[in-house]
Amino acid sequence: MTQAVPLATHHTSMGLDNRKMAFWAFIGSECLLFGSLISTYLVYKGKSVVGPYPHDILNIPLTSGSTFDLLMSSLMMVLALAAVERGDMKWGKIWLFSTAVLGLVFLGAQVMEFTEFVHKGLTISTNLFGCTFFVLTGTHGAHVAVGVLWLLTLWVRALQGKLGPANVTTVDITGLYWHFVDVVWIVIFTVVYLIQ
């Protein structure tokens, strides 16, 4: 079996890992992206001249389940990181795979939700609500999809023995991305679904 090899890490003059620093800067830029999308949704909120309107169509029980699912996936992710840190790759693999599965469940629920909306007459071109809603939640869903692919890649590398305690920063950075996707959903769930 191939041994897990650490990536060549460089530390900045501040003594911080350069990959982690770059990734935090990337997450900062993502804050601005989602900030602009949420702002657009809020600015156009209540200005649709034709239906369906948010209170006609939003499914709170389904999205509450999705929120719970994504929070649990974040928990699985930190448990994966903790397992990799202590060299327990058996549980590391289990938690990484569980995180990816919960991400897939979230995406499945989003596909169900979007399909239901289209059947009820809400598409991206129906009204301002449809346009801003699908762009915001669709962009978030695309981020979840990227995260799932990333997690599955890590899981396969772990199965091949190419991911171990030496690569803990790689798992840490994956976790940062996944938790960011989670905190964005925390905001979307409140602003879009609960505050109607």
Partner 1 sequence: MTEQSHLTAGAYLRVGAMLVILTVLEVGVFYVPAFRAVLVPVLLALSAAKFTLVVMFYMHLKADSKFFTFLFGTPLLLAVGVMVALLFLFLGALTLRGAASAG
Does 194 engage in binding with partner 1 (CB under 8 A)? Answer: yes
Give the one residue of 59, 105, 162, 179 binding partner 1; rule: CB under 8 A.
179
Q: Give the position of tokens 């209170």.
A: 55
Least distance to partner 1 from the beta carbon of 32, Å? Answer: 5
Per-residue contact track with partner 1, 145 to 174, x per CB under 8 A? -----------------------x---x--
Nearest to 77 by CA among 184, 185, 176, 159: 176
Does 183 engage in binding with partner 1 (CB under 8 A)? Answer: yes
Nearer to partner 1, 1 or 32 (CB): 32
Per-residue contact track with partner 1, 2 to 41, x per CB under 8 A? ------------x-xx--xx--xx-xxx-xx-xxx-xx--
Q: Name the token pair of 7.
A: 């990536």
Question: Residues 75 to 104: which contact partner 1 by CB under 8 A?
Answer: 75, 77-79, 81-83, 85
Dist. CA 185–CA 143, nearest whole Å: 11
What is each CA distance from 169 to 61, 89, 173, in whole angstroms?
Answer: 37, 15, 6
Nearest to 27 by CA among 172, 192, 194, 156: 172
Least distance to partner 1 from the beta carbon of 137, Å? Answer: 16
Dist. CA 62–CA 112, nearest whole Å: 9
Alpha helices, DSSP H only, in the chain? 18-43, 54-57, 60-85, 89-119, 128-159, 168-188
What residue ranges bind partner 1 (CB under 8 A)? 14, 16-17, 20-21, 24-25, 27-29, 31-32, 34-36, 38-39, 42-43, 60, 64, 67-68, 71-72, 74-75, 77-79, 81-83, 85, 168, 172, 175-176, 179-180, 182-183, 186-187, 189-191, 194-195
